[in-house]
Amino acid sequence: MSFPSFLIDAVIDRAIDAGRIVGAVVLVARDGEVLHRRAAGLADREAGRPMREDALFRLASVTKPITSAAALALMERGRLGLDDPVRRWLPDFRPRLADGREPVLTVRHLMTHTAGLAYGFLEPDGGPYQRAGVSDGMDQPGLSFAENLRRIASVPLAYEPGTAWSYSVATDLLGAVLAEAAGMPLPDLVEELVTGPLGMVDTAFSVRDPARLAVPYGDAPDKVGAPVRMGEPHRVRHGQGHVRCSPARAFDPASFPSGGAGMTGGAGDVLRLLEALRRGGAPVLAPESVRALTTNAIGDLTVTTAAPGWGFGLGVAVLKDPRPSGTPQAAGTWRWGGVYGHSWFVDPAERLTVVSLTNTAVAGMTGAFPDALRNAVYGRA
């Protein structure tokens, strides 16, 4: 497959010229060699500050594979078990089903998003998580882990754990479990087990260099017109509801470290993580842990936030069959993204790793831009 740089650039230019996204950093690597790198558009539209390749972003759910890698590294050290009950580590966290029963939640349920939990931003406005004041990990600066766990547990589980799939705050729960199992704060643990060994110097639960942080924008309220510079707080329409963002959260040390959405970092660091996993996991994980992370672990359950043909491993979506959605990616591809405007995927069969970080929610994560970018990487106009 010859490399279609001109198609990739055309997709990026069209999205910026059309006003769908404000700025982006895109890296495409094959066999570890970066074949395409592009910083385009603006990091701060109002100030006219151009996007740079070393720009930092609020990572949102790009945080999740980092937290999952930390969990697997802790398991390799014998400090945590995949089938450990959550209440072993969080004895006060005891959510119930609607009929009043208290099921056993496990670490496996958290990592596969089969725990019966939810995300407020995927509910219609006024849904149960919103009524309970649950944070999705991107809002409510200063909120503590303990209080958010209490609020989550106050809402009945949507189903018996293990019987369905629903994208959720489960990775935030996983972060809390990791902190208890390791006996140290989650940010310290992630740095010790993942970001430190990989040299991900820009990635943390705090902003390493505020001068390089891209300004976040949200889609226009009617999805027509230019993206809107995020206020404090800010709501972005997504599906039936709204994503609730508080950009200031990244600077508030009192905010709980959200294992599902709370880190900041840059495209180069994300590529470093994904490439380490693609090559087998060293120096962070053993190959068998990477296989567990990137192999479908939910059988035929439906991944409701992905196109047909996708399953889910221990923290990433896994392509079981490309035919139902017509994606050019090969079976075995794994991917995810972040609602602040990010998408990434790894296609092991083609030895491809693609990272796209934008500063535009949610157009940079899902829809016309990431789909066209994916197709362009495979030479499809």
Whether 1 has a pLDDT exceeding 60, the answer reads: no
CA separation (Å) from 58 to 136, 152, 363? 14, 23, 15
The pLDDT of 297-313, averaged and rounded, is: 97
Q: Around Cβ 184, how many Cβ atoms within 10 Å? A: 13
CA end-to-end span of the chain, whole Å?
14
Mean pLDDT of the chain: 97
CA separation (Å) from 265 to 30, 57, 101, 205, 244? 22, 6, 41, 9, 20
Q: What is the pTM of this model?
A: 0.97
Q: Around Cβ 78, how many Cβ atoms within 10 Å? A: 7
Segment (H or E) for 271: helix 267-278
Of 370, 344, 299, the residue nearest 108 (C-alpha): 299
Q: Which amino acid is at 102?
A: E
- pLDDT reported for residue 24: 98
* DSSP characters over 104-135: --BHHHHHHT-SS---GGGSPTT-HHHHHT--
The pLDDT of 273-280, averaged and rounded, is: 98
- Whole-angstrom distance, CA of residue 159 vs CA of residue 174: 19
Whether 287 has a pLDDT exceeding 90, the answer reads: yes
Whether 350 has a pLDDT exceeding 70, the answer reads: yes
Whether 2 has a pLDDT exceeding 80, the answer reads: no
- Report whether the peptide linkage leading into residue 283 is cis, meaning its omega lies within 30 degrees of zero: yes
Q: Is 267 exposed, middle or buried (0-12, 13-18, 19+ CB in 10 A)?
A: buried
| Phi, psi angle pair for 275, to nearest 5° | -65, -40
Catalytic residues: 61
The pLDDT of 268-276, averaged and rounded, is: 98
- Report whether the peptide linkage leading into residue 34 is cis, meaning its omega lies within 30 degrees of zero: no
- pLDDT reported for residue 221: 87
Residue 339 CB partners (closer than 8 Å, separation 6+): 60, 61, 121, 138, 236, 238, 243, 261, 361, 362, 365
The percent of residues above 90 in pLDDT, for the chain, comes to 97
- Whole-angstrom distance, CA of residue 167 vs CA of residue 303: 8
- pLDDT reported for residue 280: 98
Condensed to tens digits (0 to 9), the pLDDT of residues 36-85 reads 999 999 999 999 999 999 999 999 999 999 999 999 999 999 999 999 99
- Whole-angstrom distance, CA of residue 145 vs CA of residue 277: 29
Check if the beta carbon of residue 238 is closer than 8 Å to that of residue 125: no
| Paired tokens of 67 | 């937290």
- Whole-angstrom distance, CA of residue 176 vs CA of residue 113: 15
Whether 269 has a pLDDT exceeding 60, the answer reads: yes
The pLDDT of 236-242, averaged and rounded, is: 91
Condensed to tens digits (0 to 9), the pLDDT of residues 165-200 reads 999 999 999 999 999 999 999 999 999 999 999 999
Of 346, 111, 124, the residue nearest 240 (C-alpha): 124
Whether 257 has a pLDDT exceeding 60, the answer reads: yes
> DSSP letter at 276?
H
The pLDDT of 28-42, averaged and rounded, is: 97
Condensed to tens digits (0 to 9), the pLDDT of residues 128-148 reads 999 999 999 999 999 999 999
The percent of residues above 70 in pLDDT, for the chain, comes to 99
- pLDDT reported for residue 328: 98
Strands 217-218 and 360-361: parallel
* DSSP characters over 199-261: T-TT-BSS-S-GGGBPPPEE--TTS-SS-EE--SSEEEEETTEEEEE-GGGGG-TTS---TTT
